[in-house]
Amino acid sequence: MNRFAAARRTRRRRTLLAGLTAAVLVAAPAAAGHGAPLYPSPDPDPFYAQPADLSATSPGDVLEVRPMPPLAMFPDTTVTLVKFRSTNSTGEPIAATTTVLQPNNHRRDAPVLSYQHIINGLGVRCSVSKVLYTDDPDLMVREAVAWNVALRRGWTMVLPDHLGPDFAYGAAKLGGQVTLDGIRAIRKVERLQVGESRVAMAGYSGGGMATAWAAALQPEYAPELEIAGAAMGGVPMNLVSMLEGLGFGAHPVFGLALAAGIGLEREYPDRFPISEQMNARGLAARASIADACTNGILSAGAGRGILDFAATTSLTEDPRARAVVEENSLELYPGAPTMPVFEWHSPIDALIPVDAITATVARWCAAGTPVVAEATPTPDHLTAAVLGLPSALRWLEGRLQGEPAPSTC
C-alpha cells in the first residue's frame, strides 16, 4: 500500500470514529414524547425504596439492616442486607444496598473483602442482592467458587449493588462511590463485628471498573478509610475509546453499548439525552431492555450497530455529553490510588482496549502507586477473569495479612 492509499485509509477511520462519537455522545433535537429517560420499574420491596429525605445523612450512614435467608451455595454462612447513604454522579444523596456474607465461625475484626460483581443490567432483578436468590441461569453468580474460598479463610464478603438505585450501567464513577460508602456502612453495623477489620477490594470487568474507581477516588472521596489493596481485572479504563472501537458496523455485543447509553442517560438526564436521537427501532430496543439483565441486553443488540437505532447520524458534537463519557473514563481521571493495586487482563481483548489499561497503569506507577500487573495467557475476556483469580486471591491474602506490597512498576 502506497502512502496516499494509507492516508486515505487513515482519513476514513478518523471519519468513522468521529461519526460514531457524534452518534453516541451527542444530542439531537427531541422527538415529541420520547425525550425523557426510561428508568427501571420500581422495586416492589420497600427495603429498596429511596427515603423521602436524606439531607440529614452522610455518605456511609446505615439506613436499614435486614437479615436474609441462608444460601445453599454458601454453606455455614450468614447473609445480611445493609441499606446505606451514598452519593450519585452529580453529588446528590441516594440510598444504596450491599449484601454481606459472613462465615458462621467469623472472628471479630477478621479480614473483609469488598467484591464488586459484574452487573450487566438495567433492572432491579439484576442486583447482586437479588441474583443470589434466583435460579435463573442468566443471573447465576459465576464467582461463587472464589467467594467460598474467601469465606473458608474466615473473610467477610461484601457485595455492593454498585450501579445504584437507578441501575445506571456505564456510570463508572458512581460505582466507585457506592463501593466506598458500602465499606463505610458495614463498619458501623455492630452485629457484623468488622469495625477494625483490614479491608481489601476486588472485581472483574464492570466490577473491576467499580473497584478501580473506588481505589482512585478513595484519597479524596473517603480519605478516612484505610484499604489494604485493590485487585482489578479486565477493567474498561476508557469508555470513549471503547465506544469508538465499536464503529458503525454490526457488533455481537452492541447491546452492552446501548445499555451503557441508557444507564448514562439515567444518571445524567440533562447532559446525556440519548433517547432524543433514537429512531423507532431504537426506542423499541430501549423499552425491551429497560429492566433486562445480561442475556436480554445482549440479545437486543446482537449483530446490530449505531445505524440500526439512531434517528440520524448527521449530528454535531455536544461537549456536555462527551464530557459525561470522559468523566467516567478512568484513564482520563487525574487522581491515582494510594493503596497497592493488583491488575490483570488479557493481552488481546476483543472487548476492552488494552492500551488504555497499559496507559493507566503506567500513570499510576509514575504517581507512586505500588502496582503488580499481570497478563493472562488468553485472548478471551471472560476466560481471563477465571485465570487471573488465583493470583489475585494470593495477592489479596498478602495485603489482608499486612505483608509489604510488591510492585512490577
Q: What is the pLDDT along the chain (409 residues), one digit of tens a residue?
A: 333 333 333 333 333 333 333 333 333 333 333 568 999 999 999 999 999 999 999 999 999 999 999 998 899 999 999 999 999 999 999 999 999 999 999 999 999 999 999 999 999 999 999 989 987 644 445 677 888 999 999 999 999 999 999 999 999 999 999 999 999 999 999 999 999 999 999 999 999 999 999 999 999 999 999 999 999 999 999 998 887 776 566 778 888 989 999 999 999 999 998 888 889 999 999 999 999 999 999 999 888 887 788 875 433 367 888 899 999 999 999 999 999 999 999 988 878 889 999 999 999 999 999 999 999 988 888 888 888 989 999 999 999 999 999 999 9
Task: State the maximum Cα–Cα separation within the chain, in Å, rounded to a whole number.
Answer: 71
User: pTM for the whole thing?
Assistant: 0.90
For residue 345, the surrounding DSSP H or E stretch is strand 341-345
Q: Which residues contact 403 (CB under 8 A, 6 or more apart)?
A: none
3-class state of residue 103 by DSSP: strand
Distance CA 331, CA 184 (A): 26
For residue 286, the surrounding DSSP H or E stretch is helix 280-288
Question: Would strands 62-68 and 77-87 be described as parallel, antiparallel, or unpaired?
Answer: antiparallel
Supply φ then ψ for residue 103, to 5 degrees. Answer: -65, 145
Distance CA 358, CA 362 (A): 6
Alpha-carbon separation of residue 270 from 104, 262, 267 (angstroms): 47, 13, 9
pLDDT confidence of residue 247: 59
- Amino acid sitting at position 62: V
> b or e along 7-19 (b: 16 or more beta carbons within 10 Å of the residue's beta carbon)?
eeeeeeeeeebeb
Rg (CA), the chain: 21
Distance CA 168, CA 124 (A): 11
Distance CA 297, CA 342 (A): 30
Q: Are 179 and 117 in contact (CB under 8 A)?
A: no
Q: Are 210 and 162 in contact (CB under 8 A)?
A: yes
Alpha-carbon separation of residue 356 from 134, 327, 353 (angstroms): 35, 15, 6
Q: How many residues does the chain have?
A: 409
Q: How many CA atoms within 13 Å lie on the side-chain side of 134? A: 16
Q: Are 237 and 351 in contact (CB under 8 A)?
A: no
Distance CA 31, CA 25 (A): 17
Q: Which residues contact 334 (CB under 8 A, 6 or more apart)?
A: none
pLDDT confidence of residue 251: 79
Nearest Cα to Cα of residue 79 among 153, 162, 186:
186
Domains of the chain in start order, with CATH, are 46-238+333-400 (3.40.50.1820), 239-328 (1.10.260.130)
